[in-house]
Structure formats: structure tokens, C-alpha cells
A and B are shown apart, each in its own frame.
Chain A
Amino acid sequence: MSTRDWPLWEVFVRSRRGLSHVHVGSLHAPDAEMALRNARDVYTRRQEGVSLWVVPSAEIVASEAGQREEFFDPAADKIYRHPTFYEIPEGVEHL
């Protein structure tokens, strides 16, 4: 296995407890353990995180960029899902 065959890993960092892990970038590594160690060195040199995830990029299933329209369209005409859709008489509070 040359480095060319090292899989790509996506790196996610939880910056502090109470927040979700956020994608910060990617790196190549031969295995999960090295991916984790390298992610620590590359993406948390200034204590940017309290927890790290590395995920093989090949394992991520993504929606098709080219089908964004039909994929997300079903939500477009349901504006009644937003509170601003509703008319409330003036002066009514806490609603």
C-alpha cells in the first residue's frame, strides 16, 4: 500500500461539550488510529477540540448535487411549517 492508496478521512471536531461535532477538513492515513492521531496534530494544535471523529470519506453517503431541486423541493411549498406563516392579532403576547 503506497501513500497514494491511503484512504481519505473526514475530520469532525467537537469544540466544547454541549456543541456538536463540526466538519473541519480531511486527511490521508493508512488506518483509523493514524487518522485520529494525525487529525489531532493537524486540526487541534490550539486546543480547538475536546473530541474528534474521523470517518472514511468513502463511507459518507451524500445527496446528489445535481438533484438538489427535486430532492429538497417537497419542503418548499409547506411554509405553514414556519411560525411566521400565521396571522396573530396585534397586542397578543407570548405566542
Chain B
Amino acid sequence: MSAEVSFDELLADDGRVEPRDPMPEDYRRSLVRQIAQHAHSEIIGMQPEGNWISRAPSLRRKAILMAKVQDEAGHGLYLYAAAETLGVDREDLLDQLHTGRQKYSSIFNYPTLTWADVGAIGWLVDGAAIVNQVPLCRCSYGPYARAMIRVCKEESFHQRQGFEILHTLAHGTPAQKAMAQDAVDRYWWPALMMFGPPDADSPHSAQSMAWGIKRFSNDELRQRFIDMTVPQAEALGLTLPDPELRWNAERGHYDSGPIDFTELFEVIQGNGPCNAQRMGHRVRAHEDGAWVREAASAYAAKQAARAAGEVA
């Protein structure tokens, strides 16, 4: 090869872009936006489930839920670290989250009203997240792809534990089964909206596909999720709240009813049931934790000074 491999050649060859490679500014900015939003979603996503840690129905469920919420924190950290390889500072990204200049996934603006919601989140929300994230393991930006590989490995436990919660409830008393059905009824449509607007209304999609950041369109991934999930719902003995849901042998896919995307846009605009609560809690947690960060800094400074004194 006579010349340095260019960005375009790298993409055409399905190669991976690494942090110090030359890359178009738009590509860099688009990745920062996406990875930061993804990281924010992971840490905001700790809240709806964290809400049930103290009320988990058994010690087993409680230990599992704590491990899951810790994983979400870990996923946030992998992703902030991946974003930082693009030359941004985690503190700045957090500032932008706290001041509303960067977003997180709308799904976390829905409340967890019952224990069954923890099951529905694991099964449907993490299930949808996996469908979204698996193709990101082949994303053109190396650090993001590597972070997603770790995340996907861990998400699989999240989805299974959610399924197990719902399976247990669905095979319990009539009241428990009703609780499971109610959770699925409330989370089904928001889970479908996690794939974003329909392809025709998705402004960034085409560019993201051209850059190898996105590998499949919103509607393709949504269809994949529906096809996977319908048989799982049957195994649970629960129904999905869409009267138009039926197998289409000709297409080889399930047909489904229209999605009310005005709801999605309302939630994105800040009018979901829990937007203010999630942000308020996030900012408060960050401020309340300041003393821990200050103590760690003070300790490190003292130890460094002591070490310097010993040398002198």
C-alpha cells in the first residue's frame, strides 16, 4: 500500500476506526452523541429497577436485582470510557445530561408500579436493547464495538431474569398473573418505541448506516424483536396488547398494529410520566455523592504528598 489507508477505504473494507485515526468531524460528533446518550441511558436505567430493590419479594430476587442494577452502572462506565476515546470529558457529558442538553432513552421515563414491572423491564426492555445492541458489536468504531460486546454478554442475564420473574408470576395466583399481564400491557408499546421512529422519519439513520455505525434500520430491528418475542409471550401464557398481531406466512414475519409515535415524541419532549423525577434523582445523586469524590481526591493528594516527603 502506497498511501495511508483513508477513512473511506477503511469503511468500504468493513475495517474498524480506532481512536487516533483521522476521521471526519461529523462522524466523531455523531458517535459522541450516540455513545453519550447510550451511557446516560444505562445510568438513568438504574432508577426504575432500583426502585424495587428494597421491596424485592425474596433475598434471591433482591441479590439478582442488585447485581443487575450494578451491571447497568458498569455498562454506563464502559460507554463513558468509549466516548472519552473521542476526545470528550466524562464530566462534560454528565453536565450535558444534567442540564438536559443530551438525552437518554425514553423508556426510562415510565414508572415501575409493581414488582411485575421489574420482570417486564428485564424481558421486554432489555430484550429490545439486546436486539438494538447486538449489531453495534460490529460498529465501525472499535472502542464502541468492544464495549458493546461486553454489554451484550451481560444483558443476556438481564433478559432471562426478567422472563423468569414473569414466568413465576404467570404461573402463580390469579392476582399474580393479572399483575404480570398488566406490566406487559404497559411496557409492550414503549418497548417497541425503543427502536426509534419509523425509517421514513428517522433523520440520522441513512448517514449512520453509511458510516457503519448502524447496521440495520429501525423497522428491521423492531420486526426482529416482535418475531422473537411473540413465541416467548406464548410460553409465558401472557398476551401482547396488540389485536392486530398475527403471523403472516407470506412475509415470514408477524404483522402488528400501528404504533402511536406521538407518545414517543411527547416523552422525548420531556412530558413522559417520570422525566422530571428521573433527572431530579440523577442530579441529586451526583451532588450527594460529591463528598465521596472529594474524600478520594483528598486522600490521593495526602498520600502523594507523604510519598514526596519521604523521598525528599
A contacts, CB < 8 Å to B: 1-6, 8, 24-31, 34, 41-42, 45-46, 62, 64-66, 68-69
Q: Are A31 and B91 in contact (CB under 8 A)?
A: no
In addition to A1-B301, A4-B89, A64-B20, 7 A-B residue pairs with Cβ atoms within 8 Å of each other are A25-B146, A26-B85, A27-B81, A29-B296, A30-B296, A41-B74, A69-B4
Q: Is B261 an interface residue (CB 8 A)?
A: no
Of the candidates A3, A24, A31, which one forms a contact with B293 in the assembled complex, judged by CB atoms under 8 Å apart? A3
- The answer to whether B269 has its CB under 8 Å from any CB of chain A is no
Tell me which residues across on chain B come within 8 A of A27, comparing CB atoms: 77, 81
Residue B21 CB within 8 A of the other chain: yes
Across the interface, B300 reaches (CB within 8 A) one of A30, A42, A62, namely: A30
Q: Is B78 located at the chain interface by the 8 A CB criterion?
A: yes
B255 within 8 A of A: no
Cβ–Cβ < 8 Å partners of A5 in chain B: 297
Q: Is the CB of B1 within 8 A of A69?
A: yes
Closest beta carbon of chain B to A80's beta carbon, Å: 20
- Which residues of B have CB within 8 Å of A34? 296, 300
Q: Which residue of A lies closest to B94 (CB)?
A: A3
For the complex, count residues of B whose C-beta is within 8 A of A. 32
> How near does chain A come to B188, taking the closest CB pair, in angstroms?
30
- When distances are taken between beta carbons in the complex, the residues of chain A under 8 Å from B296 are 29-31, 34
Interface string of B61-95 (1 = CB under 8 A from A): 00000010011001001100110110001110000
Confirm or deny: B18 has a beta carbon within 8 angstroms of a beta carbon on chain A. Answer: yes
Interchain nearest-CB distance for B251 vs A (Å): 39
Q: A4-B89, A69-B4 are in contact. Are A45 and B74 (CB under 8 A)?
A: yes
The answer on a CB contact under 8 Å between A65 and B18 is yes
Q: Which residue of A lies closest to B75 (CB)?
A: A42
Q: A27-B77, A69-B4 are in contact. Are A2 and B297 (CB under 8 A)?
A: yes
Is the beta-carbon distance between B71 and A45 smaller than 8 angstroms? yes
Closest to B82 in A: A25
CA distance A64 to B22 in the complex (A): 12
* A42 with B297: CB separation less than 8 A: no
Distance A10 CA – B89 CA, assembled complex (angstroms): 16
A8–B178 Cα gap in the complex (Å)? 49
Establish whether residues A65 and B21, one from each chain, have CB atoms under 8 Å apart when the complex forms: yes
Asked if B81 and A25 make an inter-chain contact with CB atoms under 8 angstroms apart, the answer reads: yes
B26 to chain A, nearest CB (A): 20
B4 near A68: Cβ-Cβ < 8 Å: yes
Residue B304 lies at the interface, judged by CB distance under 8 Å to chain A: yes
Contact with A along B1-38 (1 / 0, CB 8 A): 10110000000000000101110000000000000000
A61 CB → nearest B CB, Å: 13
The 10 A-B pairs with the shortest beta carbon distances in the complex, nearest first, are A30-B300, A31-B300, A65-B20, A1-B297, A4-B91, A30-B296, A26-B81, A3-B293, A30-B297, A25-B81
CB distance from B99 to the nearest CB of A (A): 16
Are A25's CB and B299's CB within 8 A? no
How far is B299's CA from A30's CA once the two chains are assembled, in angstroms? Answer: 8
List the B side residues contacting A6 at CB < 8 Å: 297
Contact of B90 among A28, A41, A69 (CB under 8 A): A28
- Of all chain A residues, the one with the shortest Cβ separation from B5 is A68
Complex CA gap A25/B150 in Å reads: 10
Give the shortest distance, in Å, between A52 (CB) and chain B (any CB): 15
Tell me if B267 is interfacial: C-beta within 8 Å of chain A: no
Which listed residue, B84, B91, B299, touches A26 by the CB 8 Å rule?
B84
Among A3, A5, A24, A64, the most chain B Cβ lie within 10 Å of the Cβ of A3
Question: Which partner residue on chain B sits nearest A35 by CB separation?
Answer: B300
Candidate in B18, B67, B71, B150 with the most chain A CB atoms within 10 angstroms: B150
